[in-house]
Amino acid sequence: MATSLDAAAPSTSERVRRRRPWIWFMLPFLVPFVLFYLVPIAYAIYQSLFKIERTGGIFGTTQQVFAGLSQYTAVFTDETFRQGVLRVLLFGVVQVPVMLGIALVTALLLDSAVARLKRFFRIAFFVPYGIPGVIAALMWAFLYSPQLSPIVALLDKIGTAPDFLGSNLILWSIANVTTWTYTGYNMLIIFAALQALPQEIFEASRIDGAGGIRTAFSIKIPLVLPALVLTTVFSIIGTLQLFTEPVVFQTISTNVTSGYTPNMQAYAVAASNNYSFSAALSVVLAVATFILSFGFLRLTQRRGEAL
C-alpha cells in the first residue's frame, strides 16, 4: 500500500508518514472502540426500529419488518419500565448523596493533619471496590437473610430485627451494598484531588486563623468540587444501570421482580427473544443516562460560571 502511494504521489506519502504515528497509537483504542462499542450501539438502535411479523401460523416463518418508533411507544407505555425507572431514580436520589457525603467526609478526614495510618485506611476503604460485585452481593445477601444471618439473629435477641429482604426495606438493603462497594472508590478520587491542591493555600488559611473545619468548608470542598461532580456523574450512570445486586438478591428474596430495574427488564426481554423491544429499552436507558449525566454537568458548570 505504502509503496504504491510512494510511487504515485510523493507529497501524499509524506503526509501519510507524518500522520502514521497518530494512527498507530490510536488503533489499539479505536478498533475495539468501534467494534465493541459503536457498532453494538448502532446495531441496537437499528434493531429497535423493527418488529416481528409471522406468516404461516404459529410456527410459521418470521420476518423482521420496519416498525418506525413503535417499540419506543411500547417502552414509554410499559408499566414495568415506568416502575423500574421510578425505582432507580428514588434509589439514586437517596443513595448517591449519602454515598458521596460519606466519601467526602472520609477523604477530608484522611487528608487532615490529625489522621494517622493514612495509607492503611486509604487501602482499607478501597478494598470493597476490589471485590467482584456478585461476591459482594452474595455476602450481603447472607448477612440480610432472616434464617442465616448472625446479625439478624443478634438483632432478634435485643428486640425486633428488621426484615432486610422484605418489600419495604430491600431497595435500601441494595443501596447499602452499593454504598459499601463504591464509597471507597469515590473517596479515593476526592482524596487524590485534595492531595493535588497546592500547600500554600493551606498555609495562608492557617495564618488567617482558620481551623481544620473552616478550612475544609471554605477551601477544600470548593476546590475539589470538580472531583465531586465527576463522582456524581459516575454514580448517576451506575445507579441507572443497577443490575448485579438485585439479580443476586432474587436468589434469596421473594421481593425482586424480573423488571425490578430497567436493566434487568431489558435482559429478561432479550432472553425471551424479543430483541427489538429489548434494544429499544436499552437505547432509552442509555439516552436517559446521557441526559441525566450531562444535564448534571451543565448545571454545575453554569453555577460555576455564575460564581
Partner 1 sequence: MTHPSSGADTAARTASPESGRHGRARFRGLRAASLLLAPVILVAACSSSGSGSSSDGSAAAGQTSAAACAPTGGKVSLQFWTWVPGMDAVVAKWNAANPDIQVTVKNTPAGNAGTYQNMFNSLKAGTAPDLGQVEYDTLSSFRLQNGLKDISGCPGVAQAKSTFVDWSWAQAQVGGPGVYAVPQDTGPMALFYRKDIFDANGIKVPATWDEYAAAAAKLKAKGIYITHFPQQDANWFNGLLWQSGAKLFETTGDSVKVSLTDPKAQQVATYWQKLIDDKLVATNLQGFSPDLYKAWNDGKVATWVSAAWGYSTIRDNAKATSGKWAVAPMPQWTAGEKAAGNWGGSTTAVLASSKHPAEAAKFALWLNSDQAALALANDKGGLYPANKDGLELPALTQGVPFYGNQKIFDTFKEASANVDTNFTWGPIMTDTNRFLSDGFTKALNGQGTLNEALQSAQTQTVSALKAQGISVAQ
Cβ 259 to partner 1, closest distance in Å?
7
Cβ 157 to partner 1, closest distance in Å?
17
| CA-based end-to-end distance of the chain | 56
| Between 228 and 259, CB nearer to partner 1 | 259
Question: Using the rule CB under 8 A, is 160 a contact of partner 1?
Answer: no
How far is the C-alpha of 249 from the C-alpha of 271, rounded, in Å? Answer: 19
> Which amino acid type is present at position 67?
A
Q: Which of 145, 205, 293, 300 binds partner 1 (CB under 8 A)?
A: 145
| Between 145 and 300, CB nearer to partner 1 | 145
- In the shown chain, the binding pattern of residues 268 to 287 toward partner 1, with x for contact by CB under 8 A and - for none, equals x-xxxxxxxxxx--xx-xx-
- Is 149 within 8 Å of 143 (Cβ atoms)? yes
- Is 170 within 8 Å of 164 (Cβ atoms)? yes
Considering only residues 52 through 91, tell me which ones interact with partner 1, judged by CB under 8 A.
52-54, 57-64, 74, 80
Question: Using the rule CB under 8 A, is 92 a contact of partner 1?
Answer: no
Cβ 26 to partner 1, closest distance in Å?
22
Q: In the structure grid, which three cell numbers stand for residue 224, read together?
A: 475539589
| Between 29 and 59, CB nearer to partner 1 | 59
Considering only residues 12 through 41, tell me which ones interact with partner 1, judged by CB under 8 A.
36, 39-41
Tell me, rounded to whole angstroms, the distance of Cα 197 from its chain centroid.
27
Q: If you ran DSSP here, which 8-state letter would residue 45 be given?
A: H
How far is the C-alpha of 72 from the C-alpha of 65, rounded, in Å? Answer: 15
Helix axes 262-271, 275-306, angle to 10 degrees: 160
Q: Which candidate, 253, 246, 247, 244, places its Cα nearest to that of 142? A: 253
Question: Using the rule CB under 8 A, is 251 a contact of partner 1?
Answer: yes
> What backbone torsions phi and psi does residue 131 show, to the nearest 5 degrees?
-85, 130
Considering only residues 122 through 141, tell me which ones interact with partner 1, judged by CB under 8 A.
132-135, 137-138, 141
- In the shown chain, the binding pattern of residues 162 to 191 toward partner 1, with x for contact by CB under 8 A and - for none, equals -x-xxx------------------------
| Between 41 and 210, CB nearer to partner 1 | 41
